[in-house]
Structure 1
Amino acid sequence: MIDLERVFCEVDDFCQAFEPQWHQQLLHSGERKRRKTSSLSLSEVMTIIIAFHRSNYRTFKHYYTGYVAKYWRGAFPMLVSYPRFVELMSSALIPLCSYLHTRKGQVSGIGFIDSTPIIVCHRQRAPTHQLFRKKSHWGKHSMGWFYGFKLHLIINDEGELLAFKLTPANVDERQPVPEMTRGMFGKLFGDKGYISQPLFDLLFEQDLQLITKLKKNMKNKLLPLFDKILTRKRALIETVNDQLKNISQIEHTRHRSIANFMVNLVAALIAYTYQDKKPSLHLRFHPDQSLPIGI
């Protein structure tokens, strides 16, 4: 279970600095609109949403009505009903996105990149699916065709999130890489789907070397021993993707609005950053900086 007090304190500190600036930058149409205030603060709403992804509950409704409403009344004395809380979730999307950027890890010079499918409905229901019709698309992965999105991630050797991007499922894995790798340096390890000479040259100009395994019809190239070992450790990011889906539950087919779909995804990534033991290579370097110890 997540450390509720720690999460709330850090989220509340963020909201105190973020909310005034956010409201100053909001555009107004000039029309007078009734703004219904909530008894729950923004930091409380965000904390409850984030904590869901470390609660082991499979649905948010059962989590809220069966756990939060029963056992967290003392922590959240002004708790609202479940339907009202669902209405409040969409208002937390922009603050959650901003908070996620403050939870990114440090660039260490070693990065791993991968994409994972985010399925929004069963393939047989895709022709009649309406909610994501203008946003999602058909894509193909190792298990076959799917309908939905791709989540692109970059992590460092300690399993910390460095960059993330959501695209329709038909977007090529290589397309979002230049934007995601801004400010990064060192070595970036990916699978064969990232093989591209123009992409390699573009990243090399910013001191980032893209390293992938070769396809069968490509000429073999000699790699330094350290790079060769790390190409075999690319499963690290696949472990992160697996934990995001099976523990943080970034993927399910019960969404009723696009905003709440995004809230679920972003909050799951934030919850992952609070994980005490992330998948890691535990790299420790020899004093001559040539041989890694512990991988």
Structure 2
Amino acid sequence: MSDSAGRLKDTIGRYGIWSVGLRSEDPDQRAEIAEAAAELEQLGYGAAWLGGSSAVRHAVPLIEATSTLTVGTSIQSIWDYEAAESAAGFAEVEAAHPGRFVLGLGISHARLASQYRRPYSALVAYLDALDAAGVPADRRVLAALGPKTLELAGTRAAGAIPYLVTPEHTAEAREILGADALLAPEFKVVLETDPDKARALARDTLALYLALPNYTDTWLRLGFTEDDLLDGGSDRLVDTFFAWGDETRIRSRVEAFHEAGADHVALQVVTDGTRNALPREAWRRLASLLA
């Protein structure tokens, strides 16, 4: 890994925020997104990760509203954006704001991409095209879950941004990636102490992913059973993928990823708002909790 990839670790720090709302193109939300990005920077978060199939254009308003915040896509689906388009967007934002954008790439899911074929080969070809267009390997990261893609993240990118994983997966990923690559798993937080309320909010979010084999196959490899996947997910499954409870418990759950080898944790705060909401008060509470 190059020195600039090493600097990426230092730049994004220990914590970031993952949010679908931050990628919104609703003109009525543009001002609030800029304000929210500026506040995330002030709160000490090192990165903002744009959820959904996001692109460079979604990152620009956040970059323009801040001075140090790293903004990354988490993820840009290789099926939704041609490599040439991605490379052109990267070059434009890099020229205007050097070092502020990270291209997070992923293969999405067969259910969500009609052209989904031979995803690993397609990802390799996409990286080849980015290389040819001059996008540096150390300015892109991969949403890697399985061993082969994790190896690719270590050799063809700055590292990995796995989604919906456990500290055990993080430890395995670190071993595959090696010590130098960036490892920045996503983790969900519910700022709620009541078990029933917390799990109900978690299951509302988890429902989408229970229908996506890329995730459920990984969970089965990690020791969960088919029964854990039924009826919205077992309490065991929910309590593994969502941190809830008092401040000490949530802090401990987040730190478990660092102890397992993560450099950075992308925190997704789950609330009773819509998926596109900007839960700014919850982000403030979380920043205070982690301080």
Bigger radius of gyration: 1
TM above 0.5, yes or no, is no
Q: Which has the higher helix share?
A: 2
State the TM-score, normalized to the length of structure 1: 0.29
